[in-house]
Structure 1
Amino acid sequence: MSHTLTSRRSRPWLATGAALLLAGASGLPALAGPADEADSSPTQQPVMLVLDASGSMLQEDAGQGRTRMEAARTALTDLIDAAPEDAELGLMVYGSEVGNSEAEKEAGCKDIRTLAEVGPVDRTALTEAVEEVEASGWTPIGRSLELAAQELPAEGPRSIVLVSDGIDSCGDPDPCEVAEELAADGVDLAIHTVGFRVDDAARAQLQCVADATGGTYADAADAGELTEQMSIQVQRAMRSYVPAGRPVEGGAEHTSPLTLDEGDYVIELTSKDGAHAERSVQHFAVPVHEDERLHISASAIRPQVKGGMDFTWVEVEQVDADGDECRSDRDGNHSNNYMGGPPTATLITTPATAEDGCLPDGHVVFSVTRTGDQAPDGTFPIELSISREAPVEATSVRTARDASLEAPGLGEEEARGGTLVTPGLNYSTATPLEPGTYRSDIANAEFHVYRVHLEPGQKMGAALMPLGDGGYPTSLQLNFAAPDRTALVPDAGSAGYRSGNFAVNLTEGEVLADVMRTTVDPARDEQPYQAGDYYLMVSGNFEKDLALPYALKVEVAGDPLPAPTPLTDLVPLSPDAPSTDDATSTQVPEGDQEDATDADSATSSATQGSAGSQTDDAGSTGAAGTGTDDTTGAAGTSGQRGDGESTSVLAWLLGALGVAVASAGAWLLVRSRRSTTS
């Protein structure tokens, strides 16, 4: 079977009375409306930036004859100009009002000012305030951290970014102790630090502050590096990944699945190895068409723990009417992303046929299960993505030649001249890249995601180079994945991990390079065969919590082939399946839009009111009811529901009667409106 090049995502279809009538006779609930498009923008965490304006910032060693303070003002101005529109940023300075003599120490250790409270950025006012900051005094880092924490919201993820050129000179409170107390209090606060031309003692103190709160430390040797590291650390502090998709809750059993269309969803699961195993699995159903395939992926979005070796598994399993496994996929990873990012299971079903015993009532029924010892009693969000793949015209499929591509080379000069980019934190927020060389930096246990568009006949290669090592072992990974998040095996080999290549003890300037083993080929039955955005992932593990700068080079080879032609007007194997006839769309003639809206509303109201809502213990809505968030609730396959066959017949009759009444009412309403306007 050949495959289409792209999966149609979340297409709305015009409901008809006939389709609804047939849905009432189905053993599984009627198809839910398509899911909302996922919001792929990470929310912005509130950040308080704390800037050193002590007397040592007057030293003229920042490059080009500038003082450290002048370099800091330039870096701050650039940061303010580039801040996102929805940024929540505040600014605090210490040492700017009092001198640094011993006689002024008591006053100098209280010399801490808030130039801007945490909130939307007033670029003009904040820039003017920055320009007036003069360096002169002491370095009360510990007290500044206490006050900065008080300035931030009391709840939710939030961060402090501290920039200093030296050690705390006041001594009480000790900065490390302040950071440890904030962490011990359970405050959801990370402190990221930047050392500007610091000595070993100051570096150790700033590193200690970052380590205590799960933050990161970065060095800056000159004005250019200060500008870059301040930007990177503030961007890191602002990013807060929110799982992408519509929240839903599946059925507790395979006989009570929640029926979904293609789209992006979010579910919450505990671990099967914890005290609440009954909440570790949810069941779903998707109606399909003849020869259609589904791509189902589930990604566990769990905390990244530096040094953590607890494990999380996620599994997607397709079952038959008896609950027996037809096919499955399972993936796992340590909590420190030791093996390359969030656990992601991807299941591709076989082309659907009426004779397939794994399609109860023409539906793909599947479960998503979480196991493992990472926070087993807590819930993790799971991103659930479903897409349809239509069959294609056989004569339109061309076999792709293997694109010739060696593992890319990367020189240090090219690497250091790469374009600075902000990486995505997960598949849903992947940063788009064109072929070229880029720079970013990665913290311990972080996972960076990029996407590169490939057509049939093309393949991708990448090279990764650490631009520093800090004198400690560096472990980096470079992974590839298909548009449906299927992990792809690299060509240059790996350390045996399913998810890609792994390299340990890289030193500054060494290169980890790899290339996709297979060219995108629509004649294949396994990935990569689809055109689309392919994922390129970078993950790292280090002994220290430094922000490691790296360069990433992307190459694409091969001549693109024309896309195969997908078939339309597919035969539904379930009356719940949406129409695939391109002529049947939601486009309504302009003059009839109001009439069509009234008719749809009348039909929808009748469908929802045709029978009462029935909820099971898992929170799913029963067969005769409707679910929330435009998803239809759980119902069993024919012959497996506890209330027997009579309930199915009754539901069919009630549904048919309701639809008939609604259709008649809608017809009369439309006729009446047209009569009054003619």
Structure 2
Amino acid sequence: MSQPLSKRLSIRKALASAFIVALAFSLSPVAKAQANETPTMIVLDNSGSMTAQDAGGQTRIDAAKQASTQLINDISDRTDVGLTYYGGNTGETEADVEMGCQDVTILGGPSRGNADTLIDTINSLQPRGFTPIGKALTDTAAELPEGGNIVLVSDGIANCTPPDVCEVAQELAQSGINLVINTIGLNVDPAAREELECIAGVGGGTYADASDAQSLTDALTRAASRQYNSYTSDVTKIDGASEQSAAVEIDEDTELFLTDLPQESRFWKIPVEPGETISVSANTVTDPTVLTMGQGGIKLEAQLHTEEAPQYGLRGRCTRVSFDNFKPGLGVRGIQNASVASKEVGTNNCDTDAIYLEISRSGDYLNGQDIPTEITIERFGKVDESTIGNVTEEHSSVDLTEAAASEAHPVTPGQWFTSAADLDPAGEKVSSIIVPGETHFYALPVDYGQELRAAVETTFDQIDSSALGTHLYIQAFSPNRAEIELTNRDTSYADDNGLKTFGFFTPVSAANLFEKSSQGISLRSPWQGGTQYLAVTYLPSGQDEDVSATDQLPTLEYELVAEAFGDPVDPPVFASLTGATPSTSTPPSDVAEDEQISEATEEDSSSFPIVWIGLGVIGLGIIIGLIFALRRKN
């Protein structure tokens, strides 16, 4: 019997909708995951012993409820959180042992924004039953298939053994996932403390004692910390030569490449044309570090030569201006940068068809190790000096009172220029969570004629300052990734509580590079309009032991506000180049930014024809199969 017309139309409509969804999925690139806090599962003891009234004037379970509720309220909007509890559903007699040792409840795996559900469940807990810690750990780890953080709160020793709970924790830690198990003992006896310390020891975590709600809150906050997020470069690698005579030639369309920089000079050959000027920035790519004691010093330097320069001893004869990084001892922190700009090719003893780039590194920082370094090359034609404009006088103070008083909203910052979090140039206040050694990147447009004004605020009493110290370090970078000198440099270190202002208060102007302005010719002055970058690094003081990518680190929340101040002016005009992309009406910063974005997404776009069309074919095949099956049924 044939189906009614309305039903057939409904089926066709559903199939059409499914086809559209499948097609849209197959043609849409998957969004890249943002860096977030480590997914965390809280495991609470809800056994009968938690009714003891010895936790600062309240029962142990009430102290656990208060502490875990506060933690969830603090982190659930920025962290994937889940909850496990054991006990509460059986009696405590011999007849209840079998069921009691299986009494583990998982409310849900780690997810975001689930505070109300978790808290409602925690507040409804009524302790009784047994302590199946081993099963609780095993079941909870299954909710973290790609790794994460388990925080176990217990007031006693496991009474559902074997297997030994320390052996269970060791097997989980060696299971191949990046799992960390932290434990907190709430008024535990020596035997229970030893067991919990063993679990944390083999689980790669830490153990802490707690006696009441406040100490438990502090212990939970520390245990719910995370590892640092870091940047790993996947840019095309072009290692340089050890001698200029063997310099590695760079294609004229190469704008960004990676090299492993040893403690000696490396050379590249860059083809150029008459009237062209090039700027080069070198930025080191290293894992986060907290070392501030005995890590040595580093000098990073960039120069531009002609072929004859070494022969006549005229090193850097094509160099118009350079900024050499030199950071000894305690000064080694953040991103190491060296930048250089050439003279106009064809003038000033720089009459050549190729410029030789030399990047040198000296000092004993990371002695004997090559340092990955990204090198940015930007080209632009002769500037029309009549379009440069005048440099106005800098301002000596910053007034961010109104913006700083606004409510901050949480963001996920990037770990590098290509993933920097965008800020509203009108004055946007954001907040984020950082751990020691980590660097956060932000981006905001500051055009020609404008200044950058910013402030950072944090409260270091969030953490145990005696453990890692208290220090935020701020850097600013231009669109071509050259570091910019910040005014109020001393106050850009947020080494105590309160609002710290900083910025560059000289308006962006090409005069800072192309003619002698009131600031002089300098790459440290803001000479290039477009997307500027801020880097925030949490670097403690007085540390002689480093951290690794698997260490659980205390989190620090800070607030950042930044704005582009002043009215923008027309950008300078650059002549066209026969082999380069900048036009007569486009400032080089805008072109470079587009090309950097293109470079960052090249891998994703190149996979489109194979991966996404392939998924589209699979989706279409499923739809055809459904249609065929329905037709046969009809």
Please confirm whether the aligned pair reaches a TM-score higher than 0.5, indicating the same fold.
Answer: yes
Distance 1:74-1:530 versus aligned 2 partners, 3 A rule: closer
Write the distance in 2 (CA, Å) between the matches of 1:160 and 1:252.
Answer: 44
CA RMSD of aligned residues (A): 5.8
Q: Secondary structure at the match of 2:511?
A: coil
- Read off the aligned partner of 1:554 and give its amino acid letter: A
| Pair 1:342-2:335 in alignment | yes
Q: Find the counterpart in structure 1 of residue 599 from structure 2.
A: none
Residue from 548, 553, 556 that aligns with 2:564:
556
Write the distance in 2 (CA, Å) between the matches of 1:511 and 1:365.
Answer: 45
Distance 1:348-1:378 versus aligned 2 partners, 3 A rule: same
Structure number with higher relative contact order (C-alpha < 8 Å, ≥ 6 residues apart): 1
Contact 1:109 1:139 in 2 (8 A): yes
Deviation at 1:385, TM superposition (A): 1.5
Residue from 381, 396, 402 that aligns with 1:390:
381
In the TM superposition, what whole-angstrom CA distance separates every residue of 1:592-613 from its partner, at most 9, and x where no partner exists? Answer: xxxxxxxxxxxxxxxxxxxxxx
| Pair 1:467-2:455 in alignment | no
Q: Secondary structure at the match of 1:491?
A: coil
| Pair 1:306-2:290 in alignment | yes
Contact 2:423 2:442 in 1 (8 A): yes
Write the distance in 2 (CA, Å) between the matches of 1:432 and 1:124.
Answer: 23
Contact 2:152 2:181 in 1 (8 A): no
Residue from 504, 509, 515 that aligns with 1:521:
509
Q: Find the counterpart in structure 2 of residue 286 from structure 1.
A: 270
Q: Find the counterpart in structure 1 of residue 532 from structure 2.
A: 534
In the TM superposition, what whole-angstrom CA distance separates every residue of 1:33-85 from its partner, at most 9, and x where no partner exists? Answer: xxxxxx996776996532224326995689xxx97778888899x66xx89xx
Distance 1:192-1:54 versus aligned 2 partners, 3 A rule: closer
Q: What does residue range 225-236 of structure 1 map to in structure 2 within 5 Å?
A: none
Instruction: Report how many residues are paired.
Output: 491
Q: What does residue range 501-516 of structure 1 map to in structure 2 within 5 Å?
A: 501-502=492-493, 504=495, 506=496, 509-516=497-504
Contact 1:92 1:112 in 2 (8 A): no
| Pair 1:438-2:430 in alignment | yes
- Read off the aligned partner of 1:539 and give its amino acid letter: T
| Pair 1:54-2:48 in alignment | no
Contact 2:376 2:481 in 1 (8 A): no
| Pair 1:315-2:315 in alignment | no
Q: Find the counterpart in structure 1 of residue 5 from structure 2.
A: none
Q: Find the counterpart in structure 1 of residue 243 from structure 2.
A: 253
Write the distance in 2 (CA, Å) between the matches of 1:348 and 1:465.
Answer: 35
Moved more, 559-568 or 282-291: 282-291
Deviation at 1:454, TM superposition (A): 0.5
Contact 1:265 1:384 in 2 (8 A): yes
Contact 1:192 1:233 in 2 (8 A): no
- Read off the aligned partner of 2:325 and give its amino acid letter: D
Write the distance in 1 (CA, Å) between the matches of 2:243 and 2:93.
Answer: 73
Distance 1:356-1:124 versus aligned 2 partners, 3 A rule: same
Q: What does residue range 532-611 of structure 1 map to in structure 2 within 5 Å?
A: 532-542=530-540, 545-568=553-576, 570=577, 577-578=579-580
Q: Secondary structure at the match of 1:552?
A: strand
Q: Find the counterpart in structure 1 of residue 448 from structure 2.
A: 456
Contact 2:86 2:136 in 1 (8 A): no
Distance 1:339-1:437 versus aligned 2 partners, 3 A rule: farther
- Read off the aligned partner of 2:334 and give its amino acid letter: G
Write the distance in 1 (CA, Å) between the matches of 2:341 and 2:33.
Answer: 28
Contact 1:443 1:547 in 2 (8 A): yes
Contact 2:166 2:202 in 1 (8 A): no
Contact 1:313 1:370 in 2 (8 A): yes
Contact 2:408 2:429 in 1 (8 A): yes
Q: Find the counterpart in structure 1 of residue 413 from structure 2.
A: 423
Write the distance in 2 (CA, Å) between the matches of 1:477 and 1:145.
Answer: 39
- Read off the aligned partner of 1:285 and give its amino acid letter: K
Distance 1:355-1:477 versus aligned 2 partners, 3 A rule: closer
Contact 1:489 1:516 in 2 (8 A): yes
Q: Find the counterpart in structure 2 of residue 12 from structure 1.
A: none
Write the distance in 1 (CA, Å) between the matches of 2:336 and 2:91.
Answer: 53
Write the distance in 1 (CA, Å) between the matches of 2:398 and 2:185.
Answer: 37
Contact 1:456 1:531 in 2 (8 A): yes
Q: Find the counterpart in structure 1 of residue 600 from structure 2.
A: none
Q: Secondary structure at the match of 1:304?
A: coil
Write the distance in 2 (CA, Å) between the matches of 1:430 and 1:216.
Answer: 35
| Pair 1:241-2:231 in alignment | yes
Deviation at 1:145, TM superposition (A): 6.9
Q: Find the counterpart in structure 2 of residue 331 from structure 1.
A: 325
Contact 1:286 1:365 in 2 (8 A): yes
Q: Secondary structure at the match of 1:299?
A: strand
Q: What does residue range 39-118 of structure 1 map to in structure 2 within 5 Å?
A: 49-55=40-46, 93=84, 95=86
Write the distance in 2 (CA, Å) between the matches of 1:491 and 1:90.
Answer: 41
In the TM superposition, what whole-angstrom CA distance separates every residue of 1:505-530 from its partner, at most 9, and x where no partner exists? Answer: x1xx4232223142212322233121
- Read off the aligned partner of 1:430 and give its amino acid letter: A
Write the distance in 1 (CA, Å) between the matches of 2:83 and 2:459.
Answer: 31
Per the normalisation by structure 2, the TM-score is 0.60
Contact 2:109 2:143 in 1 (8 A): yes
Write the distance in 1 (CA, Å) between the matches of 2:107 and 2:307.
Answer: 65
In the TM superposition, what whole-angstrom CA distance separates every residue of 1:635-659 from its partner, at most 9, and x where no partner exists? Answer: xxxxxxxxxxxxxxxxxxxxxxxxx
Q: Secondary structure at the match of 1:524?
A: helix
Distance 1:439-1:152 versus aligned 2 partners, 3 A rule: closer
Q: Which runs of 5+ in 1 are unaligned?
A: 1-38, 84-88, 273-279, 495-499, 584-628, 630-678
In the TM superposition, what whole-angstrom CA distance separates every residue of 1:571-594 from its partner, at most 9, and x where no partner exists? Answer: x6xxxx4476789xxxxxxxxxxx
Contact 2:44 2:154 in 1 (8 A): no
Q: Secondary structure at the match of 1:428?
A: helix
Contact 2:261 2:372 in 1 (8 A): no
| Pair 1:352-2:345 in alignment | yes
- Read off the aligned partner of 1:342 and give its amino acid letter: I
Write the distance in 2 (CA, Å) between the matches of 1:244 and 1:215.
Answer: 34
Deviation at 1:294, TM superposition (A): 1.6
Q: Secondary structure at the match of 1:539?
A: strand
Distance 1:53-1:317 versus aligned 2 partners, 3 A rule: same
Distance 1:323-1:124 versus aligned 2 partners, 3 A rule: same
Q: Find the counterpart in structure 1 of residue 484 from structure 2.
A: 488
Q: Which runs of 5+ in 2 are unaligned?
A: 1-29, 51-58, 514-521, 544-552, 586-602, 604-634
Deviation at 1:397, TM superposition (A): 2.3
